[in-house]
Amino acid sequence: METVPREEIRERISRFQTALAANDLAGAFILQNADRFYFTGTIQSAVLFVPSSGDAILMVQKNLKRAQLESSLDTVIRVKNKNHIPQVLNDFGVNQLATAGLEMDVLPANLYIEFQKQFSKCRWVDVSGIIRKLRMIKSAYEIEQIKKAAAILHTGYTEIKKIIRAGVTELEIDGHLAMIARREGHMGMMRMRGWNQEMTHAHVLAGDSGSVITFLDSPHGGTGNTPAMAQGAGFRRIKANEPIGIDYGVAVNGYIGDQFRTYVIGELSDTFKKAHACSREIHLLLAQEAKPGVSCAQLYDRAVQKATKEGYGDFFMGYGEGQVPFIGHGIGLEIDEYPIISPRFDGILEEGMVFALEPMFVLPQQGIVGLEDDYLVTSGGLERLTLTEQSLIQI
């Protein structure tokens, strides 16, 4: 198994320590899996303490041996439980914490209360924003992992053409996509940071399934096969001349690739063809305009203007209560990273960002069409990382 290079971990911690010092924080405790993996290279049960200067300390509850093998940190030690953390820090010369950070956007309240009790004189600060902005800029190593994920997606989209036919259920297609992904190296899950947001490896949405609204913060949802999941593929059978939307995601060494393509057995209606063409035109338009320094809100506005001009404004990125106010999202260790291509995200594009752009059109009781691709922001503009041709795929 591939582990995160030592120099990668050291650089991440160094940048985090610079940010901690700039915010007058003595250090931060990292508990969430994705963040801890980012700074250590392991998700073994542990608490990471990163001081504003000096060596980070990984305090492992389970499994110490694996944590030591997987992480390149110099200080990886055993701790019986979280109550022993103050003593461990004291042993390493951290006697008093006046101010320290926690990931308050994801940390359970009971753990926050525990830290308050253990460090009663400490003032706690939310460092979630700092961490998310650090993770927003991808290194060459991270970009390479996303490219590996993109290659798996292309294999899946290519092979699934042999499976799609009239009468096959959404779930059968979903199952084949899962098999292909795992065979090619998908780690088996994708992480989301948003509260109560969950994601399957694929949404296979045929015909009116593509217009079913659900809880997910996405322009599409699907019926799923149970209210306990309420998204993705269901028991519906594929028919000719209807849109078959497939949103496919995989993760390699933690890093996610995310893509959407529209298939059809036969021909789509002119309405759907025009909407699909509009999605492609939005990709081309934003690929020309997106570059370092351009605001995410500006890109969102340009996409909405184009969709509205073509007569699809009411169906862009969903419809009614299912309409979402974004057209793209950062990807990395989580599928909902920064940047967000949205009027609500106060930020500009920076070199090294990677995001999925997904202009979609959802017609009530009819279905969904569109294209989603992953892009890297370079000094000269956008570089597409996903490989599948940007076209409607006819069976």
Domains within the chain, CATH numbers bracketed: 6-134 (3.40.350.10), 137-394 (3.90.230.10)
Q: Give the whole-number percent of the chain exceeding pLDDT 70.
A: 100
Other beta carbons within 10 angstroms of residue 145's beta carbon come to 22
User: How confident is the model at residue 120, as a pLDDT?
Assistant: 93
Span 132-177, pLDDT tens digits: 999 999 999 999 999 999 999 999 999 999 999 999 999 999 999 9
User: Is 96 a residue whose pLDDT tops 90?
Assistant: no
Residues 19-39 have pLDDT tens digits of 999 999 999 999 999 999 999
- Fill in the amino acid letter for 11: E
pLDDT at residue 82 is higher than 90: no
Q: Distance (Å, rounded) from C-alpha 291 to C-alpha 220?
A: 28
CA 139/CA 159 separation, integer angstroms: 31
Give the pLDDT of residue 391: 98
Distance, CA of 55 to CA of 41 (rounded, Å): 15
Q: What mean pLDDT value characterizes the chain?
A: 97
If you average pLDDT over residues 254-274, what whole number do you get?
98
213 has a pLDDT exceeding 90: yes
Task: Calculate the alpha carbon distances from 210 to 16, 59, 167, 174, 279 in Å.
Answer: 41, 46, 17, 14, 16
pLDDT > 90 fraction of the chain, expressed in percent and rounded: 98
Which tens digits make up the pLDDT trace of 311-350?
999 999 999 999 999 999 999 999 999 999 999 999 999 9
pLDDT score of 109 more than 90? yes
**For residues 113 and 134, what is the distance between their CA atoms, to the nearest angstrom?**
26
Report whether pLDDT(361) > 90: yes
H helices present in 78-187, as ranges: 85-91, 109-118, 128-136, 140-159, 170-184
- Residue 336: the pLDDT is 97
pLDDT attached to residue 95? 84
Say if pTM beats, i.e. exceeds, 0.85.
yes
In angstroms and rounded to an integer, the radius of gyration of the C-alpha atoms of the chain is 22
